[in-house]
A and B are shown apart, each in its own frame.
Chain A
Amino acid sequence: MRIGTLKTDYAADEALFDTRLQKLLILLACAAAVLFPFVASPYWLFLACLCAINVASATGLNILTGYTGLVSLGQAAFMSVGAYTVAVLEIHAGTPFLLNLLVGGLLTALVGIGVGIPSLRVKGLYLAIATIAASVVLHFVFAHWPLTGGMQGLSMPPARLFGLALDQPFQLYWLILPVTALMVLGAANLFRTRVGRAFIAIRDRDISAEVLGIPLLRYKLMSFAVSSFYAGLAGGLWAYFFRVVTPESFPLVNSIFYLAAIIVGGMGTILGGILGAVFMTMVPELLKFVAGLVTPFYPDALALLAPVRTIVFGALIVGFLIFEPHGLAEIWRRIRRFFHLWPFRT
């Protein structure tokens, strides 16, 4: 039980992880993440990598939408910029994969800045429409530019590290998970700086933020840049993971997926982005497991339960939105609070 907030300096007060238990849990999670590939089957490793990529992208969107209050439906399109950049560099230049990822992220950030320019004039749904328009333009470019392989897209060789091809979920796990962890850590730290706090100020009341001396255009564009950088990196990881990038790899519905992930997880919290992305990726798969359990008793439960599964997934999302509008992160926080006072107050 926690009996008080006993902090004697500002550094302790600002710490990202403030309790010993929290630090212990993080250490345990890291240890589990390191051990995981050695015990899990390729299927679970595949899902872990997919979750990590989605977490990276959702965290990026969370910076823009959750923290800065700028609604974007262009996240998938931004990912496609990163994915195509990485694929083109890998195929034509053969540069090291970390450099490709970085270039992919930076180029996407530039595109993000371009797309973000209207954000000074338009907000909310109007901005969402502007980002959809940008997605359509990007889709058109990728579908018609010879460099990006037109509608057939690009098939790329795997990332290589000291001659070792990273073409299996087991090897890619060691690339994707650390990069995602760094990105999430970066995002968490961002909101302890002036820039991050400026984003929050803009979200809460942009006029007041400007009065406080925050140049709106610069910070809004910065938010777009950071968010797109995240999307570009996630797209690059995605490209190395699937190794085929086509204009149809990143449809608009993926942007909605990421928006749904941060809403379900909890907008404006780092944990929300993580939980939301994992929830949205894993729940459909876990529901398949439940359907699989019924199969021995009911022949062809797979086909019969397929539509039911989709409905249950939808109902779960609606349920969460009704019963916990602040998302999964708030549920987690409530559980933590409960244990703070346990067993004296339950």
Chain B
Amino acid sequence: MRDWTRRHVLSAGAAMGAGLALGIRPLAAQGADEIVLGGSIPLTGVFAFAGIGIHAGIQDYLKIVNDAGGVEGRKVKYVAEDTGYKVDASVAAFNKITSQEKVSLYYGDSTGFSKTINPELERRGSILMAGASFASELNDPKKYPLQFMAGPDYSEMFGILLRYIANEKAGAKLAFVYSDTEFGRDPIGPSEALAKTLGLEVVEKIVTPPGSVDVSTEVLKLRRARPDFTIFHGYVLAPIPEFITQAKQMGLASRFMGTFWSMDNSTVERMGEAADGFMGVMPYRYYYDTEGESPMLEKIRQMRPEYQSTAYLQGFVTALLMCEAAKRTLAAGKELTGANLKAGLNSIKDFDTGGLFGVPISIPGNSVPVGRIYAFDGKAKQMKPASDWIRLEA
């Protein structure tokens, strides 16, 4: 037998260390039949408020699935990396996870990442991806055949809001207030056209830097335009409260509305007095919603007795739809490839999500064009339903 000197041990150790560091190793300990859900999750950075919820939501749903025996008997393993909401870090995380695991499902954190990784997704052809972005651009099955979003895209969110407004007040005057970002500008063009066809008039469009604080001149513009409804998009919180407070002080009678990422109950609550009456579009039921039957919400409430954000629900629903796609693919006796998974997802028709969406859903393309208008009730300190579920025709 070879005598092991200290030098031998050190060099073997160094070689092993280098090997591990460089990733020269077989695919990490992965059960042969495990399905891997990878994730570029923004646990730090500007989107961390949502990323932490998304992370927990995905984990909780997978726990429910795995405790119940997995997807068609196969456990689902979740492997995530923090990205700080930066595209380069997200791509690095994707490369890291996919070189260590055989990934079939992936959660991406931003529109930029979804666009950047798309050619690679198509090249690999083995992954179905969804994420935090509801960008209208991604809702194109031809350009993004292996991606989807667990809700309506931003234009569809506006579509739901505009249909509600057209029902409430024919010929209403609208103002769009949006941030000067890709996120902010996303639905504005198509929504203007839609407003026209619904007989609504867009009287003002205000674009602000994201997170701007001093909005007094913009509020003056809004006052001059005297809209019946003001829709904010491309913000999470600031400057929505400033806008509403100043506009109310000036006696503006407009109703104020938002889209998904500004609709979390705790976020709206933080608007203080400005929150009362704030409305917006939500594709999912809120954590505390007890109306109707929602066994999934019951389960969530059992697992986590304290309030869970809309971001949590988004992560949860995304994982649910991914697993459903995998289940349908495996049940049809097909391999878990990107195209098969997407076909499995698109076969979802009038599907009950355990009450997370208020109505049965279908996913004919890349989005789930369903939503409902909620309005903040200042007394109950909760977003309460203000309309029925609105389903856009595909």
Contacts and interface: CB of A to CB of B under 8 A. Distances in A.
Nearest to B186: A151
B43 A306 contact: yes
A50 interface: yes
Contact of B91 (A242, A246, A284, A302): A242
B10 interface: no
Given A248-B182, A306-B43, A309-B44, A43 B88 contact: no
Interface string B217-242: 00000000000000000000000000
Contact of B88 (A42, A45, A242): A242
A167 B119 contact: yes
Interface residues of B, number: 37
Interface stretch (B66-74, B92-100, B154-162, B257-265): B92-100
B194 interface: no
Max chain A Cβ within 10 angstroms of own Cβ: one of B24, B96, B137: B96
B82 A309 contact: yes
A152 interface: yes
B43 A302 contact: yes
Contacts of A248: 112, 181-182
B84 interface: yes
A151 B88 contact: no
Interface of B: 21-24, 43-44, 48, 52, 55-56, 59, 80-82, 84, 87-89, 91-92, 95-96, 98-100, 112, 115-116, 118-120, 123, 137, 180-182, 185
Given A42-B95, A288-B81, A151 B182 contact: yes
Interface string A241-271: 0111011110000000000000000000000
Q: Using C-beta atoms within 8 Å of the partner chain, give the interface range for chain A.
A: 35 or more
List the 3 closest pairs (A to B, CB-CB), nearest first.
A41-B23, A306-B43, A43-B96
Contacts of B98: 42
A47 B87 contact: no
A169 interface: yes
Contact of A46 (B21, B24, B91): B91
Contacts of B56: 303
A307 B87 CA distance: 19
B24 A39 contact: yes
Contact of B112 (A249, A285, A310): A249
A44 B118 CA distance: 20
Nearest to B136: A152
10 contacts: A42-B95, A45-B95, A152-B137, A153-B182, A167-B119, A167-B123, A244-B116, A284-B89, A303-B55, A303-B56
A243 B115 CA distance: 9
Given A244-B116, A246-B112, A246-B182, A39 B22 contact: yes
A155 B143 CA distance: 11
B345 to A, nearest CB: 23
Contacts of B123: 167
Given A300-B59, A302-B80, A41 B116 contact: no
Given A151-B181, A249-B87, A284-B84, A46 B95 contact: yes
A40 interface: yes
Contacts of B95: 41-43, 45-46, 169
Given A50-B92, A288-B81, A40 B22 contact: yes
Contacts of B23: 40-41, 43-44
Contact of B115 (A42, A244, A303, A306): A244
Contacts of A39: 22, 24
A43 B116 CA distance: 16
A338 B227 CA distance: 73
B22 A41 contact: yes
Contacts of B24: 39-41
B44 A306 contact: yes
A240 to B, nearest CB: 12
Contact of B185 (A151, A306, A309, A310): A151
